[in-house]
């Protein structure tokens, strides 16, 4: 059984970012992290972005607002970072509190700064197979891991458990673009275990600690565990029951140390791509779509 370590893939992305800042000495791609309130998971993600971006030679500035901030004040801060030429990308910690009008924000969000692919323009681009659209970082991270470990996707049966807009749905499009045959499952799927156990590539994005037991896994399958769950005794575990899954799978991502670290690295890669675009540093090759579906 091969352990698919996120660090290997993240290090390749780090080199890509360092190459960019080395080549364009004097350009410092800058990310704005917009956070409302102090949710521990948001603070932890923010810390890991800042730490990694420092290593990657990129800047991450935080814009934190109190939980009870008014919609008007929130939109003002958003407008500022969305229009500031020295900010090349934005990540917003979501969900936002109820008083914030997310649709108002999304309507004006510059898609070239939308590094986590939450605007309709980027979602549509991902659906078309347009490689210049920003896909949500976690969904993209799954594909980067598979590519980074040379795991064949074309013609393979991929089963994704979870259909959220941040993971399952965009990932189904990205895997389809890689010519996998994709099945998306959710809480109403019947015979889930049977469907999952036919997959060459099984992606668990459920949010239920250790739900995926050995019975869900085909012999020698590749299993990507997106889940991040905190146990009662304070341990971080995935959606897969590691002890069981490793007995069946050919390759598995650990939690922690798998998808999470690559997600932050993809955010960094997206920031570099956004900076190139905004500073008109793209070469024709960078802009070229590898494949845009005509269907
Ligand atoms: P959501 O809660 O938005 O979606 C969960 C999905 O799982 C839903 O589609 C839901 O189905 C489905 N589901 C829930 N229970 C079952 C079940 N018993 N059987 C089959 N399907 C089920 O979660 P996210 O997509 O946002 O996140 C999924 C996991 O990934 C979480 O653990 C999250 O913490 C983690 N995550 C990790 C990231 C990383 O960087 N590694 C980043 C983002 C998320 P239905 O649609 O029918 O409700």
Each residue of 133-172: pLDDT tens digit? 999 999 999 999 999 999 999 999 999 999 999 999 999 9
What confidence category does residue 282 fall into, taking pLDDT thresholds of 50, 70 and 90?
Answer: low
* CA distances (Å), origin 268, targets 18, 181, 202: 10, 29, 26
N residues, the chain: 295
Distance of CA 239 from the midpoint of ligand 1 (Å): 9
Torsion of CA 39, 45, 48, 54, to 10 degrees: -100
Quick one: pLDDT at residue 283? 55
Q: Does 264 contact ligand 1 (Cβ within 6 A)?
A: no
Q: How far, in Å, from the CA of 255 to the mean position of ligand 1?
A: 15
- Å from CA of 257 to ligand 1 middle: 19
pLDDT band at 287, cuts 50/70/90? very low
Give pLDDT, residue 187. 98
- Check whether the bond before 134 is cis (ω within 30° of 0): no
> Residue 288: its pLDDT value, please?
45
| Helices within the chain (DSSP H only) | 6-23, 40-55, 71-83, 102-108, 120-128, 137-148, 168-177, 192-196, 242-248, 259-278, 284-287
pLDDT of residue 79: 98
Q: Which of 165, 225, 226, 231 to mutate to test the pocket of ligand 1 (most atoms within 8 A of CB)?
A: 226
Average pLDDT over residues 272-290: 73
**59-65 sheet: strands from edge to edge:** 59-65, 30-36, 89-92
Residue 61, number of CB atoms within 10 A of its CB: 15
Mean pLDDT of 223-241: 95
Q: Given ligand 1 and candidates 48, 144, 162, which is best to mutate, with the most ligand atoms within 8 Å of its CB? A: 162
Q: How far apart are CA 263 and CA 224, in angstroms?
A: 13
Collapsing DSSP to helix, strand or coil, 251 comes out as strand
Q: How far is CA 163 from the centre of its chain?
A: 14
The per-residue pLDDT for range 94-132, each reduced to its tens digit, is 999 999 999 999 999 999 999 999 999 999 999 999 999
| pLDDT average, residue stretch 173-198 | 98
CA of 260 to the centre of ligand 1 (A): 14
Distance of alpha carbon 173 from alpha carbon 180, whole angstroms: 10
Neighbouring residues of 172: CB distance < 8 A, sequence distance ≥ 6: 160, 182, 184
Q: What is the pTM of this model?
A: 0.96
Note the pLDDT tens digit of each residue in 12-55: 999 999 999 999 988 999 999 999 999 999 999 999 999 999 99
Mean pLDDT score, 207-212: 97
Tell me the best of 207, 230, 264 to mutate to test the pocket of ligand 1, counting ligand atoms within 8 Å of each CB and taking the most: 207
Closest by Cα among 195, 261, 197 to 44? 261
Q: What is the pLDDT of residues 242-270, one digit of tens each?
A: 999 999 999 999 999 999 999 999 999 99
How many helices and strands in the chain, by DSSP H and E? 11, 11
Residue 61 CA to residue 39 CA, distance in Å, equals: 18
* pLDDT band at residue 289 under the 50/70/90 scheme: very low
Q: Ligand 1 mean position to 151 CA, how many Å?
A: 24
How far apart (Å, rounded) are the C-alpha atoms in residues 25 and 56? 14
């Amino acid at each position: 059984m091969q352990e698919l370590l996120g660090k290997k893939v993240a290090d390749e992305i780090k080199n890509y970012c360092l190459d960019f800042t080395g080549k364009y000495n004097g350009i410092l791609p800058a990310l704005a992290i917009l956070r409302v309130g102090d949710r521990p998971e948001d603070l932890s993600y923010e810390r890991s972005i800042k730490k990694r971006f420092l290593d990657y030679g990129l800047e991450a500035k935080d814009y934190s607002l109190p939980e009870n901030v008014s919609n008007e004040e929130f939109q003002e801060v958003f407008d500022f970072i969305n229009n500031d030429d020295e900010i090349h990308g934005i990540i917003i910690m979501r969900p936002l509190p109820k008083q914030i009008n997310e649709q108002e924000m999304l309507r004006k969000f510059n898609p070239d700064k939308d590094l986590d692919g939450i605007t309709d323009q980027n979602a549509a681009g991902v659906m078309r197979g347009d490689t210049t659209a920003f896909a949500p970082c976690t969904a993209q991270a799954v594909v980067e891991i598979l590519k980074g470990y040379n795991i064949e996707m074309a013609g393979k049966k991929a089963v994704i458990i979870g259909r959220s807009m941040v993971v399952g749905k965009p990932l189904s499009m990205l895997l389809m673009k890689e010519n996998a045959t994709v099945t998306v499952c959710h809480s109403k799927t019947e015979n889930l275990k049977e469907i999952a156990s036919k997959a060459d590539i099984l992606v668990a994005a459920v949010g239920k600690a250790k739900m995926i037991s050995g019975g869900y896994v085909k012999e020698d399958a590749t299993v990507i565990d997106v889940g991040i769950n905190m146990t009662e005794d304070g341990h971080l575990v995935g959606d897969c029951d590691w002890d069981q899954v490793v007995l069946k799978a050919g390759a598995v991502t650990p939690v922690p140390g798998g998808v999470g670290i690559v997600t932050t690295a993809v955010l960094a890669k997206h920031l570099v791509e956004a900076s190139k675009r905004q500073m008109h540093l793209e070469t024709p090759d960078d802009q070229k779509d590898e494949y845009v579906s005509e269907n």
